[in-house]
Amino acid sequence: MEQEFVQILKSRLGDENHKKLMKINNQEVHKFIAKFVELCNPAKVFICTDSDEDIQYIKDAAIRDKGEASLANPNHTVHFDGYYDQARDKQKTKFLLPKGVDLGPEINAMDRDDGLKEIYSIMKNILEGHELFVKFFCLGPRNSEFTITCVQLTDSAYVAHSEDLLYRQGYEEFVSLGEKAQFFKFVHSQGETEEAGLDLQVSKNKDKRRVYIDLTDEVIYSANTQYGGNTIGLKKLAMRLAINRASKEGWLTEHMFITGVNGPEGRVSYFMGAYPSMCGKTSTAMIEGERIVGDDIAYLRNINGNVHAVNVEKGIFGIIEGINSTDDHLQWKALHSDNELIFSNVLVTPDKKVYWNGKDGDCPQKGHNHSGEWFLGKKDSDGKDITPSHKNARFTLDMKILDNYDSIMEDPKGVLIRGVIYGGRDSDTWVPVEEAFDWAHGIISKGAGLESETTAATLGKEGVRVFNPMSNLDFLSIPIGRYVQNNLDFGRGLSSAPKVFSVNYFLKDSEGNWLNHKNDKRIWLKWMELRVNGDADAIRTPTGFIPKYEDLKRLFRETYDKEYLKEDYIKQFTIRVPENLAKINRLIEIYKTRVLDTPDIVFKVLEDQRGMLEKTRAELGDYISPYDL
């Protein structure tokens, strides 16, 4: 077999590309590439190093191969996905598990042998006539104990170009590590393509779209799709591999941003936060005046008894819907800069500029988007209006172009984490900000207890609470109970555990009016920064510690020069006992019926909290003002 793969590489790569690959002294890398060159049968193979010339080759190929089109700004391009290829395909995204392995009923899986047989059949000769791009990357900073090396095989220069913006180059890391590299593997083909307008091509055979995750060999397979969530393998697909690896090795992979909050006298304290979609995660990471280290995925390690974390990525694949100059100044400025940007599934106007839903200014009357030639009032085959941009339209950029970029992101040691935040969309239960009693209480009642209400825009029915522990349910590659236990065990190994907080930006009064302003989240962060440094007192409640009015009043004045009224404080921080008890009952039922391996401590913590709530209600009633505690 060894002689066979050596011969495949020599005959299929050509002298220059073969020479580049042979600089990496790792037979597993060579075998992996040879195996899928033989199976997928590309017309040409390009081995990409970290050089500017090779990276430019990928950018040029994205235009040449019609994965991207040029825009009026020479540093901006646009990409379209097929009309029905606009999001992660949850149904066709499956774990391939050996017989006898079960991840639980919440996780989509199939027999590994059957899955490999099917995906190999789909990928047989799928690259005929296509060029295969072989890319090398690092997840996390280079030359770090956090680093995970990756090899990406793809025939989409758009995917390769996106990953060049989103991830650190890794060819030289592979050269340096040689046989020591333990790497993640990604195999992607967009498959047969068809015209989509603007001379762009999109994947055609959506019935053969597959995204399969093989935990045994740490391989991701993706076929007949272009949408980034299905194809940019180093993102949420690699996250699944990393969660599995971390579980075995005693560290954590989390769906979290990392932000630096500026405190008094030049102090900076770093926080991590996990929020489900549409709950304010990106807007929190991007708060003007603070520092962004990462917006999506983080690795956590115990270093000398403290939590250190890194941003797995170096760029942002962000939702563009609704970004405007008033509410999103930092992103707006970046999207109107001359820096390198990829827009996807937005509207391209006749003068080759872009428009997205919610952008400043009047909506254009015509242009091209993911549906082809577009005009105002255009409808799809179901009679639904086709908006100028898709609601999941995206932008891709390198974080260095952001004004609040924090260069500590590249520190191989990561950043010291002082606080962990969990936030969901909750109209009637959680107060705007609260600190847990300790690590275990925070992980269970706030992290493992995370729920988020749906919006009418997403599911057509508003207010349905969706269980989403640590905002990571869609990406777990281990059973939920083990995932919760791993978080608890991680905290027990720390000599100085971060404080754990919950936030809720969506609290309403009995008439349905918002009790928080969208900018208040910065005040909650400022209070958390004071708490982790011992500079603010708090009020103990049955569910955790809440701020004192005087501290928030001062922070509003110092931060926004705004008066914070006592009556607003009371409305926001009243403890709603019936709603909190209902939440505990829901969680106990979920962990008894949907999570079969729930650690006993989960029920103990929830029962203890129920007891404290019932005791306080007997003394003070159903709705308790912070001034009564």
What sections of 401-498 are H helices per DSSP? Answer: 439-441, 456-459, 480-492
pLDDT over 50 at 188, yes or no: yes
pLDDT over 60 at 397, yes or no: yes
Q: Which residues pair with 499 in a beta bridge?
A: 419
**In-domain check, residue 292:** yes
CATH number of the domain within which 473 lies: 3.90.228.20
**In-domain check, residue 167:** yes
Classify 57 as helix, strand or coil. Answer: helix
What pLDDT score does 285 carry? 93
Helix/strand/coil (H, E, C) string of 270-314? EEEEECCCCCCHHHHHCCCCCEEEECCCEEEEEECCEEEEEECCC
DSSP 185: E
What pLDDT score does 458 carry? 45
CATH number of the domain within which 234 lies: 3.40.449.10
Q: Which residues pair with 186 in a beta bridge?
A: 152, 220
Q: Which amino acid is at 240?
A: R
Sorting pLDDT into bands at 50, 70 and 90, what band is 374?
very high
Is residue 436 domain-shared with residue 384, that is, in the same domain?
no
Asked if 347 and 367 touch (Cβ cutoff 8 Å), the reply is yes
Q: What is the pTM of this model?
A: 0.95
**In-domain check, residue 619:** no
Is residue 389 domain-shared with residue 419, that is, in the same domain?
no
**Six-digit token string for 261:** 């909050």
**In-domain check, residue 625:** no
**In-domain check, residue 80:** no
**In-domain check, residue 192:** yes
**Cα angle: 578, vertex 423, 581; to 5 degrees:** 15
**In-domain check, residue 528:** yes
Asked if 139 and 171 touch (Cβ cutoff 8 Å), the reply is no
- Catalytic positions: 279
Phi-psi region of 79 (alpha: psi -120 to 50; beta: other; left: phi over 0): beta
Mean pLDDT of the chain: 95
Asked if 386 and 378 touch (Cβ cutoff 8 Å), the reply is yes
Classify 581 as helix, strand or coil. Answer: helix
**Six-digit token string for 573:** 């921080």
Residue 514 CB contacts under 8 Å (≥ 6 apart), including other chains: 506, 507, 508
Sorting pLDDT into bands at 50, 70 and 90, what band is 2?
low
First to last CA, the chain: 73
Is residue 452 domain-shared with residue 516, that is, in the same domain?
yes
Q: What is the pLDDT of residues 329-367, one digit of tens each?
A: 999 999 999 999 999 999 999 999 999 999 999 999 999
**Tally of residues, the chain:** 629
Asked if 486 and 493 touch (Cβ cutoff 8 Å), the reply is no
Is residue 117 domain-shared with residue 222, that is, in the same domain?
yes
Is residue 144 domain-shared with residue 202, that is, in the same domain?
yes
**In-domain check, residue 77:** no
Is residue 188 domain-shared with residue 305, that is, in the same domain?
no
Q: How far apart (Å, rounded) are the C-alpha atoms in residues 167 and 156?
A: 16
What pLDDT score does 459 carry? 42
534 or 381, greater pLDDT: 534
Q: How far apart (Å, rounded) are the C-alpha atoms in residues 421 and 404?
A: 20
Is residue 165 domain-shared with residue 290, that is, in the same domain?
no
Asked if 69 and 200 touch (Cβ cutoff 8 Å), the reply is yes
Q: What is the pLDDT of residues 565-612, one digit of tens each?
A: 999 999 999 999 999 999 999 999 999 999 989 999 999 999 999 999
Sorting pLDDT into bands at 50, 70 and 90, what band is 508?
very high
- The alpha carbon of 5 is separated from its chain's Cα centroid by a whole number of angstroms, namely 36
Instruction: Give the DSSP H/E element, type plus range, for residue 321.
Output: none
Of 400, 420, 455, the one marking the end of a domain is 400
What is the number of domains present in the chain? 3
Of 573, 592, 609, the one marking the end of a domain is 573
Q: What is the pLDDT of residues 148-160, one digit of tens each?
A: 999 999 999 999 9
Q: Which of 485, 479, 478, 490 is nearest to 242 (CA)?
A: 478
What pLDDT score does 414 carry? 98
Q: What is the pLDDT of residues 57-107, one digit of tens each?
A: 999 999 999 999 999 999 999 999 988 888 788 889 999 999 999 998 888
How many other CB atoms are there within 10 angstroms of residue 338's CB atom? 10
Q: How far apart (Å, rounded) are the C-alpha atoms in residues 380 and 552?
A: 50
Q: What is the pLDDT of residues 419-470, one digit of tens each?
A: 999 999 999 999 999 999 999 999 999 999 999 998 644 445 667 899 999 9
pLDDT over 70 at 383, yes or no: yes
Q: How far apart (Å, rounded) are the C-alpha atoms in residues 287 and 291?
A: 8
Q: Which residues pair with 203 in a beta bridge?
A: 193
Q: Which of 344, 382, 346, 395 is nearest to 367 (CA)?
A: 346
Of 136-140, 275-279, 404-408, 458-462, where does mean pLDDT reach its minimum?
Answer: 458-462
Of 361, 381, 400, the one marking the end of a domain is 400
Is residue 447 domain-shared with residue 301, that is, in the same domain?
yes
Q: Which of 279, 295, 261, 321 is nearest to 399 (CA)?
A: 295
CATH number of the domain within which 348 lies: 2.170.8.10
What pLDDT score does 72 carry? 98
Is residue 328 domain-shared with residue 215, that is, in the same domain?
no
Sorting pLDDT into bands at 50, 70 and 90, what band is 1?
low
**Backbone phi, psi, residue 267, to 5°:** -75, 140
How many other CB atoms are there within 10 angstroms of residue 64's CB atom? 12
Is residue 299 domain-shared with residue 440, that is, in the same domain?
yes
What sections of 157-226 are H helices per DSSP? Answer: 157-166, 171-177
Q: Which residues pair with 95 in a beta bridge?
A: 109, 213
Is residue 61 domain-shared with residue 97, that is, in the same domain?
yes
Q: Which residues pair with 503 in a beta bridge?
A: 423, 433
Positive or negative torsion for Cα 398, 53, 354, 64: negative
Query: Could you list the residue range(s) of the whole structural domain that residue 526 is in?
Result: 253-315+408-573
Q: How far apart (Å, rounded) are the C-alpha atoms in residues 526 and 533?
A: 11
Residue 393 CB contacts under 8 Å (≥ 6 apart), including other chains: 319, 320, 321, 343, 344, 345, 346, 356, 357
Is residue 340 domain-shared with residue 205, that is, in the same domain?
no
Buried b (16+ CB within 10 A) or exposed e, 68-103: bbebebeebbbbbbbbebbebbeebbbbbbeeeeeb
CA atoms within 13 A on the CB side of 620: 19
Classify 473 as helix, strand or coil. Answer: helix
